[in-house]
């Protein structure tokens, strides 16, 4: 599939924003995070900013962005509609929760309840995003049980890393938050390795023979291209990435996106002061870079079954 920049930015930034919001809501519910106004203002600004930028970026991928509101009407059958509806609903409890914390330094009582609801809606929105892809049967690389858990854990990891960084910058160290970030990074790395093994070694569901129904006659190969120039299907669903480049990008993604954040998040527990703040911020930035690469690969390595009619032998 063509790795559209708008969708990559949307899934990465919105996932990070929802991860931060989840950590804030969960942290307030169990009284893990302090009701510090400066921290609250920075955390909610980053969270809601990432979410809003991501959602606006997703509109750029639509042919008619002004009709985006219609997508929410199909929530009974479409995960895309459910994602859009959940994204809008998340703002409702998040608004009073953010205002009370950032403006008045309050994150308990009724506002903690708002935070808990916002956290659940944030997790549900990321879950819906993962399900959009994992339920698409024509794309074997997406139609997998690995996809949705990876989306959820990567969002949690990204959110915990940024919350940890903001806490350290404010001098409000919370080892539990760093521990959550490190554990999520480790689990996310394992999920991505498992997912890539599935992509590389999973049995092909469709072949040129099965797609044309000519398998009984022997091997089917393309004699002549069906079009003399590139069309929409080839542009959007026939993207190719060289295997050597994919392997290199996978290693970079695993290193920057998961392994380095895992090490640095654990290191923040052992150091203090400005050093801890610098280490925590570096971990969050590395994770953002690595996740952008991981998400690019997620789209670039996917093959739609329609490509079988354009020379692909199996998908």
Report DSSP state, residue 314.
B
**Cβ-based burial of 143 (10 A; exposed 0-12, middle 13-18, buried ≥19):** middle
Mean pLDDT of 222-250: 73
Q: How far apart are CA 69 and CA 85, in angstroms?
A: 9
pLDDT tier at 15 (50, 70, 90 boundaries)?
Answer: very high
Q: How far apart are CA 11 and CA 20, in angstroms?
A: 14
Mean pLDDT of 9-15: 94
pTM score: 0.92
Do the beta carbons of residue 18 and residue 159 sit within 8 Å?
yes
Distance of CA 189 to the CA centre of its chain: 13
The predicted pLDDT at position 238 comes to 66
Select from 84, 40, 39 the least CA-distant residue to 58.
Answer: 84
Q: How far apart are CA 305 and CA 293, in angstroms?
A: 24
Candidate from 7-16, 60-69, 132-141 with smallest mean pLDDT: 60-69
Mean pLDDT of 17-46: 97
Q: How far apart are CA 163 and CA 166, in angstroms?
A: 5
Check whether 172 has a pLDDT greater than 90.
yes
pLDDT tens-digit profile of 250-304?
Answer: 999 999 999 999 999 999 988 888 999 999 999 999 999 999 999 999 998 888 8
Q: How far apart are CA 246 and CA 239, in angstroms?
A: 13
The predicted pLDDT at position 213 comes to 74
Q: Tell me the three state secondary structure of residue 125.
A: helix
Q: Spell out the domains of the chain, with CATH numbers in brackets.
A: 5-310 (1.20.1630.10)
Q: Cα Rg for the chain, rounded, in angstroms? A: 21
Q: What is the dihedral of CA 281, 286, 288, 291, to 10 degrees?
A: -150
């Amino acid at each position: 599939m063509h790795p559209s920049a708008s969708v990559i930015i949307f899934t990465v930034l919105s996932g990070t924003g929802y991860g931060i919001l989840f950590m804030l809501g969960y942290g307030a519910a169990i009284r893990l995070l302090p009701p510090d106004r400066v921290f609250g203002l920075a955390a909610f600004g980053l969270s809601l900013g990432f979410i809003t930028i991501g959602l606006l970026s997703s509109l750029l991928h639509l042919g008619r962005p002004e009709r985006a509101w219609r997508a929410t009407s199909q929530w009974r059958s479409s995960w895309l509609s459910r994602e859009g509806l959940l994204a809008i609903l998340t703002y409702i409890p998040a608004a009073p929760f953010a205002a009370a914390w950032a403006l008045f330094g309050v994150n308990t009582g009724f506002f903690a309840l708002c935070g808990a609801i916002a956290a659940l809606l944030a997790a549900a929105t990321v879950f819906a995003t993962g399900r959009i892809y994992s339920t698409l049967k024509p794309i074997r690389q997406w139609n997998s049980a690995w996809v949705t858990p990876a989306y959820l854990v990567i969002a949690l990891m990204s959110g915990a890393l940024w919350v940890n960084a903001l806490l350290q910058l404010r001098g409000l160290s919370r080892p539990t938050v760093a521990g959550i970030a490190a554990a999520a990074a480790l689990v996310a790395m394992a999920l991505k390795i498992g997912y890539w093994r599935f992509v590389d070694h999973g049995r092909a569901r469709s072949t040129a023979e099965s797609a044309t129904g000519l398998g009984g006659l022997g091997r089917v190969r393309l004699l002549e291209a069906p079009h003399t120039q590139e069309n929409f299907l080839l542009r959007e669903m026939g993207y190719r990435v060289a295997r050597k480049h994919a392997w290199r990008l996978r290693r970079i993604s695993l290193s920057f996106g998961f392994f380095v954040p895992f090490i640095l998040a654990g290191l923040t527990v052992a150091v203090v002061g400005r050093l801890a703040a610098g280490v925590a911020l570096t971990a969050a930035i590395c994770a953002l870079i690595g996740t952008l690469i991981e998400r690019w690969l997620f789209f670039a390595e996917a093959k739609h079954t329609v490509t079988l009619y354009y020379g692909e032998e199996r998908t």
